[in-house]
Structure formats: structure tokens, C-alpha cells
Structure 1
Amino acid sequence: MIRHLALAVLAMTGVAAALPASAQADFRSCLSGLRSQAAAKGISGQAFDTATRGIQPDLKILELMNSQPEFKTEIWDYLSALVDDQRVQDGAGAMRQWGKALANAEARFGVDRYVIAGVWGVESDFGKNFGDRPLVQSLATLSCYAPRRQAYFTGELMATLKIVQDGDIDPGLLQGSWAGAFGHTQFMPSTFQRLAVDGDGDGRRDVVSSVPDAVASTANFLKKAGWTNGLPWGYEVRLPSDFSASLAGRKKKRALSSWAAMGVTRVDGRPLSGDYAAAVLIPAGLNGPAFIVTKNFDAVYSYNAAESYGLAIALLGDRLKGLPGIRTAWPTDDPPLSRAERRELQRLLTARGYDVGEPDGKVGSKTREAIKDIERRIGLEQRGRPGGKVLEALRS
């Protein structure tokens, strides 16, 4: 009943709203049940009460749960926003500043420091964006309201309460994403419990305030996920004209020599070389970029279970190494925008009287509504997509 009420309130407002007294009572009842579960997990009543005192459900989370960009955004837009010149420049600076910590993590766990930095950059923009939602509130909301995976989120709430009780991280710093990920590389609480390590030698595991702890913990995650030192994650390739899309897929691995025999080459025409199994990814179909990927890509994929996400990390790591970006054009006549171009688009919209808020490059509902109006004016389908055609129209 409370779940239906939450969804109804969300549908009417689109934002978090104050619940009526009856729903507040239902939420308190839900918290009481969670308190009993916490006690069974060894979490004291005092710790639970302190962590949950005064919290209200955050209904906005239910909307965010159904609009994850890894699954809703076209691959070229997704990668353009995450792997742009600004992030590469910022990443180079972060790697200079924290080079010793990254080198230590690489040596300790045998994971490429550039891939570790790729995770750091994609997850929090090198520490600039941890997320601002209190973990206990978010996970309590999901434990009581989520239309799916409630047991999972309840487990994450229990792991968060254990972190608080153990004193690893200041409770006031436990803020993150809508789903409960937190810190420099956005660990879920249960992942923190299993895999976080002390990287700076102070006896604590703190992926929020300690970059050495965060990058070492990330390296430990990737190592446990199957990362093999010395094996590439993959690279861009050129497919023969008769290549069948049915052969592509992350799980459809075969010997690299088999792909070579089919006529697959590196994107610059050089032959494939190496003695390992690999798969072919075609994230935008046969007319877009193609990639050979190894089990090291699977290790990166396991961090968030989305191929677009895994490619963002891997490609950002390559750019930080000084390698070129994707060379094959995406199959679209409306090119994607970098974050700098998205900020320019927002400034131009503001100059024309649209209220899109701060021009920060983040495309929210206000920006999308303004874009839809521009799309209507120039004869495009009204999708609210920040693309090259809209930007050019605004420039003109």
C-alpha cells in the first residue's frame, strides 16, 4: 500500500513530496521492521536509532531508479559526456597529484593504474562529484518503497549501518548516489565491506576522505573481478564487410586468431596479434565503432554491469595514457556534445529566455524542455536531446 502511495505522489509531482500522516506512520512501521532486521545482523538499536532519527523517504529516488543513463542514453551521447577533453585534462592532473597512490595500487594488486584512474574519473570526476544524498535516507527509502530489488537495497542499508557502527567513515560523510554508492569510486556499502582496503596505512578504510584508500580498494575490486596483469582490456577494430552481427557480444569469446582469420583487423589496418580469447562489441551496430574486448573488459564491466559504462572507463584510461579516442564515426548525423558544448548550449538557451538553471553541462528536465522547443522550431523530433543540430541552430 505504501509503495503504491509513493508512486502516486511521485507521478503527481515528479519530485520528493511531504507524505500525509498515515503514510508517515507506514514509513515508521517499515523502519521498525528494518530495526529488527538490523538487530539480527549485529547492529545495535542505538546505532540504528541514531542513523535513522528524523528521516523521511526521498521519493525522487523512485524516478531516478527508472532513468539510469547507462540504459536510457544513446551510446555516443553517453561517452561524449564522460570521455571528453576536459575530463582527460582533469584526470592527467589528478594522476600527477596522486601518482604514488596509483602506482602503489598497481604494484599491490597488478591492475593498470590508468584503468583505476578511469573508474575514478567516470564515477566521481576525480573526486568532484560524490553525490549529495544521505545513504541511510536513500537506502531506507528503497528498502520500503522500491518497486523491485527491495531485499538487495535492505542488504545495502544494513551494510551502511555496519560501516557507521564500525567507525570506518564519519557518518556525516556517507552521502552518495540515489542507489547508495559513495566515495571517490562510488562503492556500494556491501562492496565496501567485502573489498575496501587501507591504502594509506592509517589502519582505517576510508574511500571518502582518502584517495589512496579509494584507488587501492578499486584495484582490489578489479583484481577480484578477474583482472589479469599485462592483458589489454581491448581496442577498436575494423570489421570485414561481410561480418555478421550475430557473432558479436561480450560473452561470445573466441581465440584472437579466429577473429583475425575472419578479416578483423585493428582500426588502423594492422593485424591482430596475441594469444588470448576475445569478443567483438558493436555498441551502435555494424555501422558504428567496433571493439575487441578481453576478460579484463569483463572485470571493468562488473563494476556497474553496463557495457557503455565499461567502455567509458576503458576509453578514458586509454586517453589518459595518451592514446587517441574512437576513430570510427558514430552512425548519426547529429553529433554528440562534450560537456563544454553542453554548457555553451545552456548559455545560449538562457540568452534566449529559457530557464535552464546554472549552465553546468548537466542536462536536466529544464534543459530538455527548452531543447524540445528548439527542436520543434527547427523541425526535429521533440526528444530533448542535446545534439549538434540544436547547438548549431542556437549559434545561428
Structure 2
Amino acid sequence: MRNIKLFSFRLALTLLLTLVSISACASTSSSPSNPSLYHDFIEKMVEEHQFNRDELTTLLNKSVVKESILKAMSSPAEKRLEWHSYRNIFLKPNRINGGIKFWKENKDLLDAATEKYGVPAEIIVAIIGVETRYGGNTGSYKVLDALTTLGFHFPKRAKFFQRELEHFLLLCREEGFDPYEPKGSYAGAMGKSQFISSSYRAYAVDGDGDNKRDLWNSQADIINSVANYFSRHGWKNTDLVTQQTNVTGDAYKTLLNRSLKPKNTLKQLAEHQVQTPPNLADDTIVRLLELKQKDQSEFWLTFHNFYVITRYNHSHLYAMAVYQLGQEIKKGFINNT
């Protein structure tokens, strides 16, 4: 009996210690990060940008490592979904109707941005719709937490997110933001247009003339910043973005590749039994894109402007969702005016 009691006590103690250990591990997602991880970064910010060492150390040590951010970064929708599932996230009546409403409410701003930057209103509206449902969800993570979590606890892209943290701190200094305050996505993207810090600094514009670049509250700043982003990435004043096509046989498969940039001519596609538009020159540069529907594939020719959309998010699924949502919004806007 004594041995049984002793065994039971030891078993209970083992279980208790296991639970304590699990609890301790789980708590790392809501406890301050290891200050030593920040040492080199802090020294860089002090030497290159004249930040105060003590103030920056205090700031970073108050950041919180979020396990949910690491999990989300490891499994983005663009990498785990096929087109038919991804499309259904964005091509919904509420997102289309929301875009029509946004266009109506901001028509003058959109017209002016299109005139200035050459980017169609439907593309600007669709970007804001895909990114945040027209401002309905701009993100709930503190940008500081997102960037420190990914910059120091996600080795695969640590250098990228440390650079974004650098840009974020500089942005806060330039724009007068309190670094504790801005909230955004799990990747640290901000505002209705979801600009990462480097894009915010490089492409955000003051659209309303108040000497601020506010991507949360100023529709003029938001709309003009999205248009400026595309303009600066080479948007061309043409209707060519993408169009559906057909293939015969299997020869087309040698043209499929992971590159988002168009590299083949229409002549090359025709030689591989891909249907090409008769109104375009044979030397037009395109990319052949295969998208998976539930029961079959569909094929698209993507042009330079489609590639420009992928500069916002490096995914052909994302670019196609933006394009198709934009077309549906444009259709609805025209029919309702």
C-alpha cells in the first residue's frame, strides 16, 4: 500500500511539473522578449540613426512575442489555397457592394488620383477591398509586436523584418507616431491600404494637403498612396492586365514557371498551342498562368500591369483576386450611376 501511495505521489508530482513546464512555454507568447536579442539592432539604430540607446532598449523590451503571428506567417492563404478557394474569400457580394459604395463616396478623389497617376479607380478600390474590406479590418496587432516577433523569432525572414522594424522606428520619428500605438496585420502592415513600414516611407503621400500621411483616416491619403505605389512600380496606361485563354494538348506545360514576371512572347505561346489574341502583336510579352478550379484548370494570359499588381503582394492568386474584384466593382458602379 505504501509503495502504491508513493507511486501515486510521484506520478502526481510529475504531472504537476509537466503542467508547470507547459504553462511556462505557453507564456513566452505574452512575456517580454530576451533583451540580448536586440543588442546589435539597437547599436545599429544608435550609430546610424542617432536613436537614444536607453529609450530604444526600453521600447523593445516592452514588445511582446506573439505565437499567433509566427503561426500565421508560417501558413499564409496564398500558399495553402488553390484558386477556387482563394477566390471565394474575396469575390463575395458584400465585398463587391462595399467597393461600389466606397467608389461612390470617394468618386472625386478617385477620379483625381486616376488622372494624376494613370491607375484605374477599380484597381485602387479593389486593393483597399482585398486588404482591409475598405477599412473594416486594418489589423489588431501592435506593429511593434509584429515586427519584433518576426524580426527576432522567425529566422527564415529575420533580416527582412529587422529592416522593416528599422523603417518603422524611422517612420514613427518622421511622422510623429508613438511606436506603441500603431496597429496592423500580423506582418506589420498598416492602415486601410496595408503598407509595410518601408512602403509607407517610400510611397505614402499627403493627398489632402495637411502635411501628414495618414493611411488610417484620410481617404485622400489612402487613395493617392495606393495609386502612387502602382505608378512608381511601373503601371502602364493600358487596358491590358489579364485575359482568359485556352490551350490544346500538353505543350503549354513547358511555359509554366514560378516567375511572376512575363517573359514569353505571344508567338512562343502560339507555337505551344496556346490561343492568343489576334489584335495583339506577336512580340507582346506575356506570362501563361494556370489556375486550379475544383474540377479543371483555367488558363490566363497575364501582362505587365498584372505583374505590377503582384508588387503589392507577391502572389498571382492575390493579383487575380484584385483584378476580378475590381472588374465586378466597376460593373456594379457603372450599373448604379
Query: Scaled by the length of structure 2, what TM-score is found?
Result: 0.81
Task: Report matched runs for 1:194-343 at 5 Å.
Answer: 194-241=202-249, 244-249=252-257, 250-251=260-261, 253-256=263-266, 259=269, 264-265=274-275, 271-275=277-281, 276-284=284-292, 287-322=296-331
More displaced, 284-293 or 141-150? Answer: 284-293
Structure 2 distance, partners of 1:20, 1:173, is 19
Among the aligned pairs, what percent are the same residue? 26
Task: Report matched runs for 1:1-396 at 5 Å.
Answer: 17-19=26-28, 24=32, 27-45=34-52, 48=56, 51-52=59-60, 54-167=62-175, 169=177, 171=179, 174-241=182-249, 244-249=252-257, 250-251=260-261, 253-256=263-266, 259=269, 264-265=274-275, 271-275=277-281, 276-284=284-292, 287-322=296-331
Structure 1 distance, partners of 2:67, 2:141, is 12
More displaced, 292-301 or 167-176? Answer: 167-176
The 3 A distance-change label for structure 1 pair 75 and 230 is same
Structure 2 distance, partners of 1:43, 1:190, is 19
Contact 1:256 1:273 in 2 (8 A): no
Contact 1:265 1:272 in 2 (8 A): no
Structure 2 distance, partners of 1:56, 1:19, is 9
Deviation per residue, 1:141-170 (Å, 9 max, x gap): 222211212111111111111121122556
Contact 1:70 1:78 in 2 (8 A): yes
Structure 2 distance, partners of 1:91, 1:173, is 28
The 3 A distance-change label for structure 1 pair 202 and 172 is farther
More displaced, 141-150 or 247-256? Answer: 247-256
Contact 1:281 1:292 in 2 (8 A): yes
The 3 A distance-change label for structure 1 pair 54 and 63 is same
Query: Scaled by the length of structure 1, what TM-score is found?
Result: 0.70
Cα shift at 1:284: 2.0
Cα shift at 1:263: 5.9
Structure 2 distance, partners of 1:102, 1:51, is 39
The 3 A distance-change label for structure 1 pair 229 and 91 is same
Structure 1 distance, partners of 2:170, 2:274, is 50
1:4 counterpart residue number: none
The amino acid of 2:118's aligned partner reads G
Contact 1:88 1:319 in 2 (8 A): yes
Cα shift at 1:134: 0.4
Cα shift at 1:264: 4.4
Cα shift at 1:119: 1.0
Structure 1 distance, partners of 2:55, 2:105, is 37
The 3 A distance-change label for structure 1 pair 170 and 232 is farther
Cα shift at 1:43: 5.0
The 3 A distance-change label for structure 1 pair 203 and 191 is same
Cα shift at 1:56: 2.3
Cα shift at 1:79: 0.9
Structure 2: any 5+ residue segments left out of the alignment? 1-21, 333-337
Cα shift at 1:129: 0.8
Structure 2 distance, partners of 1:264, 1:114, is 29
The 3 A distance-change label for structure 1 pair 186 and 114 is same
- Aligned to 1:19, the other structure's residue is in SS state helix
Cα shift at 1:278: 1.7
- Aligned to 2:210, the other structure's residue is in SS state coil
Cα shift at 1:87: 0.7
The amino acid of 2:42's aligned partner reads R
Deviation per residue, 1:61-113 (Å, 9 max, x gap): 21111111100112211111112222111110011111122222211111111
Structure 1 distance, partners of 2:250, 2:278, is 18
Contact 2:262 2:303 in 1 (8 A): no
More displaced, 272-281 or 239-248? Answer: 239-248
Deviation per residue, 1:308-339 (Å, 9 max, x gap): 1111111111111218xxxxxxxxxxxxxxxx
Contact 1:168 1:206 in 2 (8 A): no
Contact 2:208 2:221 in 1 (8 A): yes
Which structure features the higher share of helix residues?
2
Contact 2:118 2:231 in 1 (8 A): yes
